[in-house]
């Protein structure tokens, strides 16, 4: 019997895009996968998160992921935009980390964005809240070292999902401007997560892994 089948993986935002690719790869590795869409948990609604946590109070692997905010000019951002995405991309994740028990030697993956390293002038809500969340995640990681919880912040550049199709009008033209001439394949992120958990890679804990095809020029 494959021992993974006794382990539960909860993928928030696991119904499409990067989250779906992680869900499918963990299913291939025989984990018991709960792949959530907004029907199961909507992280912009604290009520929805609390309801979800009543039914789901433990896991071996959790992926913190959901939809991204739209690009907006600095002066167009309203208080309510901050509130909605603060709930969606920060407070809900905090509540999940606080209330969902990750079993000893478990894993947390957080899908942030490569713009945490280089904020631009339009995805301001995204880069600000994901930077804050990256800091919170590091604190969580430090607080859970003794329990062997491995925490990895995955910071993607452009990957071929619905999200990118919403942000980019001409994909071919966009790809030509990228350092590799190619947009990322979501399956690579799924395979990476599978590799880490199947091989019980632990010492990477607390790291941010940039999956951006060399868009950021820094080696740090």
Ligand X SMILES: NC(=O)c1ccc[n+]([C@@H]2O[C@H](COP(=O)([O-])OP(=O)(O)OC[C@H]3O[C@@H](n4cnc5c(N)ncnc54)[C@H](OP(=O)(O)O)[C@@H]3O)[C@@H](O)[C@H]2O)c1
Q: Which residues bind ligand X (CB under 6 A)?
A: 12-19, 37-38, 41-44, 65-68, 88, 111, 113, 156, 158-159, 161-164
From the list 205, 183, 201, 192, the residue with the least C-alpha distance to 22 is 192
Least CB distance to ligand X at residue 80 (A): 15
Contact 108, 150 (CB under 8 A): yes
Least CB distance to ligand X at residue 127 (A): 10
Least CB distance to ligand X at residue 105 (A): 26
Question: What is d(CA 58, CA 62) in angstroms, rounded to the nearest whole number?
Answer: 9
Q: Which residues of 147-158 are buried (b: 16+ CB within 10 A; e: fewer)?
A: eebbbbbbbbbb
The phi-psi region of residue 111 (left if phi > 0; otherwise alpha if psi is between -120 and 50; otherwise beta) is: beta
Q: Which is nearer to ligand X, 63 or 149 (CB)?
A: 63
Least CB distance to ligand X at residue 219 (A): 20
Q: Which is nearer to ligand X, 37 or 205 (CB)?
A: 37
Q: Which is nearer to ligand X, 43 or 144 (CB)?
A: 43
Question: What is d(CA 134, CA 153) in angstroms, rounded to the nearest whole number?
Answer: 7
Q: Which is nearer to ligand X, 13 or 106 (CB)?
A: 13
């Amino acid at each position: 019997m494959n021992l993974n089948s006794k382990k539960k993986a909860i993928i928030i935002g696991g119904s499409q895009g990067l989250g779906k690719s992680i869900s499918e790869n963990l299913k291939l590795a025989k984990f018991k996968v709960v792949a959530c869409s907004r029907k199961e948990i909507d992280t912009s609604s604290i009520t929805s998160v609390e309801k979800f946590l009543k039914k789901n109070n433990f896991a071996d692997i959790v992926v913190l992921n959901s939809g991204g905010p739209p690009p907006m000019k600095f002066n167009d951002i309203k208080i309510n935009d901050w509130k909605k995405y603060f709930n969606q991309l920060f407070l809900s994740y905090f509540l999940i980390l606080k209330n969902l028990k990750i079993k000893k030697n478990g894993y947390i993956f957080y899908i942030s964005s490569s713009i945490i390293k280089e904020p631009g002038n339009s995805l301001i809500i995204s880069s600000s809240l994901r930077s804050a969340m990256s800091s919170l995640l590091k604190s969580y990681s430090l607080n859970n070292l003794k329990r062997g919880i491995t925490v990895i912040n995955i910071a993607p550049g452009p990957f071929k999902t619905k999200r990118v199709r919403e942000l980019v009008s001409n994909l071919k033209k966009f790809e030509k401007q990228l350092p590799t001439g190619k947009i990322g394949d979501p399956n690579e992120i799924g395979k990476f997560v599978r590799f880490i958990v199947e091989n019980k890679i632990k010492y990477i804990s607390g790291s941010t892994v940039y999956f951006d095809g060399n868009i950021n020029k820094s080696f740090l």
